[in-house]
Amino acid sequence: MTQTYGEKRVERLLKSLPSNRYFFVAEPEIVGSKTTRSRPDFVVVSAERGVIVLEVKDWKNIVSITQKKVTIIRDGMDGVEEEEDNPVEIAHDYALNLADAFEARAELRKKYRGREVLRFPWMYAAIIVHLDNDTKRKAEGLIWEKGRVLNSEDLQPDRFEKALQSIPAKWRLEKPLNKDILNIIRGVLDPELIVHDAKGEDVGTITVEQERIIKQPIKIKPAASPMDDFLTDEAIAVSQNTSVRLVRGVAGSGKSLVLAKRAQFLAANYPDANILVLAFNKDLVKDLEKRIGNIPSIEVVNFHKLCSNILGSKWRPPQKIEEWLSNWFADLMEQSNLTPEFVASEIEWRKELELYDNAEYLNVERKGRGRSLNKNKREVINTIMDQYIDYHHNESIRDWSDVPFVTLAELQTGHPLRHTYDFILIDEAQDFAPSWIKVILKLIKSNGDLFICDDPSQSLFRAFSWKQKGIEVRGRTRVLRVPFRCTREITLAAHSLINIDNTGDESEEIVKPDLQSYELASGDKPKVILVNRVEQEIKRVEDEVNILIHNGIMPSSIAILCHTKRIIKHWAHLRNQACYVGTFNQMKGLEFHAVLIPHLHTYFQVLGQEVDSEYIDSQRKKLFTAMTRAREMLILSATGNLPTELTSLQPYVELLYR
């Protein structure tokens, strides 16, 4: 509905109020049972005062006013009188209905003198824009209370807030409403902000900061030109007008939720736009598909499936480098104290950076590999890589690290998906390699919008900065600091591992959690179970699972997360009971009521060698990610002692010895 002059004027004033103390909703749909009125002009929420309902009227010619009715003459009606309901009574009816809706939420009620009442006062007022001061004063005390009606004189920027504060209330708050209560109020006023779980149950409300990110308007930019397809890479880089925004958040802060809601917002507001949502793996895709729903203009896919779609009939299932290495170089790797996984990751890293020069590789700085990469080992890797490249070329095989480069080549000219998407949204982007980002930039229109969610503390597979990925994020980053998923105790324990690791440039900083702004869920401290023998640990972990199931926890809500494939066999049979048993590399995007993380005594060991500090930091980050998969219960275990690399955990856990 088109706003009147008065409504526009009031809305401008409401927007000018301090956002840390007020928020408002225009024409909310109120579901209550007190009256039939359901759409007030404005509902204003003040942390210090409570809730205010405002009804706005632009009447210029008022003939008479009673408690129930107002007689007016409209412009252009030749003096014909009309009778309207008194806007104060209208506002009062809206307020009754709204209070009824608030009372339906138990969190908004409290006990007072033996009965339940709302935790905050509600108020109402009418704004009659053209009401003169004489008429207003005469009516005060006779028809309405003083302060119950505002007029043009109150609608001055320097007077408006004071006029709102003067609206009569039955009682006053002793202290400001906290953010949890304010968020529930927001959810009543706008049910679309309410977050539901897989069962459809209300699990919270999107926060103000999350809503701002979701609904941030798109800057209108020049349309993409068909000539983009004929520009060189350098010319496209120069002309690229892509808007970039990065949402960085702690684990459990709602990044995926914000991304899903952002995709829905874009689809609703830009119905002709092509929208691509990218995730790291299939599990994340399934989760995002559930959150977003079936919207024709939104495509949700993982990166490698996207590459498969682009390559079409040219797609070939990639080979795993580890298998080739094990077949051809098992003895050499064993003599050099190298594993197939280590050598494969080194080859993939070199290919990603296009570091094919052996002499250059011998001197390049290489950290965080868990062991020293001395000249002898690098020469072994050079020998293996030379033969792998020859094999790779002669047999025309393709491995996973080739996929983005082959896809880039396919996109160079003429491909129908080149510069097709108006909006691309990426979840868990910290694990996207530079070559992946190059593919994405080939798909987005030159005037498109790139929306990225990441958390460097949860990087499992990649170690590239946004600068290395070719994306400038400084000044374009919004941060979500409140960890809603985990209990306070789990959050404190997990963050104790990474608070001591805040290296890197500003664009890759670890986000510290905000544990004060909201009333976060509390629970038991995480347990650390220490036993004498491996057999005891295997049994104890299974016993803990059975206890959880006996106590009513659904098996599908219990996970055993293993840091290596080798130990999965000890608990793999629990999959038959629907428990999740998997490795750290499979846990992206997952969350569970209870998580068990066993065998930590071997977590930092690499073939019996000493490990470097960057490897330790990397392992801590992986463990942090595993720990933050737990919503309410977390159990760690080890045979012998807790590794010294995890001593920062001790103040935040309950140590159990057996």
Same domain, yes or no: 466 and 493: no
Q: How is residue 296 written in tokens?
A: 């024709």
User: Could you list the residue range(s) of the whole structural domain that residue 217 is in?
Assistant: 206-299+419-480
Residues recorded for the chain: 658
Q: What is the pLDDT of residue 395?
A: 83
Q: How is residue 307 written in tokens?
A: 């590459």
Q: Which residues make Cβ contacts (< 8 Å) with residue 8, sequence separation at least 6?
A: none
Same domain, yes or no: 503 and 601: yes
Same domain, yes or no: 111 and 174: yes
Among candidates 644, 566, 630, which has minimal Cα distance to 601?
A: 644
Q: Looking at the domain assignment, is residue 307 inside a domain?
A: no
Same domain, yes or no: 384 and 497: no
Q: How is residue 259 written in tokens?
A: 């991304």
Pairing label, strands 109-112, 527-531: unpaired
- At 339, which amino acid appears? T
Same domain, yes or no: 34 and 100: yes
Same domain, yes or no: 221 and 163: no
Could you tell me the pTM of the whole model? Answer: 0.80
**Alpha helices per DSSP H over 204-329:** 208-214, 233-239, 255-269, 282-292, 303-311, 321-328
Tell which of 196, 218, 248 closes a domain. Answer: 196
Among candidates 132, 177, 179, which has minimal Cα distance to 152?
A: 132
Domain count within the chain: 4
Instruction: Kindly report the CATH number assigned to the domain that includes residue 246.
Output: 3.40.50.300
- At 593, which amino acid appears? H
Contact 554, 592 (CB under 8 A): no
Pairing label, strands 592-597, 558-562: parallel
Same domain, yes or no: 387 and 424: no
Same domain, yes or no: 365 and 390: yes
Angstrom distances, CA of residue 199 to CA of 74, 202, 241: 52, 9, 42
Same domain, yes or no: 36 and 92: yes
Integer Cα distance of 514 and 112 in angstroms: 32
Tell which of 156, 175, 196 closes a domain. Answer: 196
Cα-atom radius of gyration of the chain, to the nearest Å? 31
At 337-365, the pLDDT tens digits run: 888 988 998 999 899 888 999 999 999 88
Among candidates 141, 143, 148, which has minimal Cα distance to 163?
A: 148
Q: Looking at the domain assignment, is residue 86 inside a domain?
A: yes
Same domain, yes or no: 150 and 281: no
Tell which of 455, 480, 505 closes a domain. Answer: 480
Q: What is the pLDDT of residue 506?
A: 45
Q: Looking at the domain assignment, is residue 569 inside a domain?
A: yes
Same domain, yes or no: 183 and 77: yes
Residue ranges for the chain with pLDDT beneath 50: 222, 224-240, 501-507
Q: What is the pLDDT of residue 34?
A: 66
Q: What is the pLDDT of residue 504?
A: 44
The distance between the two most distant Cα atoms of the chain, rounded to a whole number of Å, is 103
Q: What is the pLDDT of residue 390?
A: 92
Same domain, yes or no: 183 and 217: no
Helix %, strand %, coil % of the chain (to 5): 40, 20, 40
Contact 259, 453 (CB under 8 A): yes
Q: Looking at the domain assignment, is residue 237 inside a domain?
A: yes
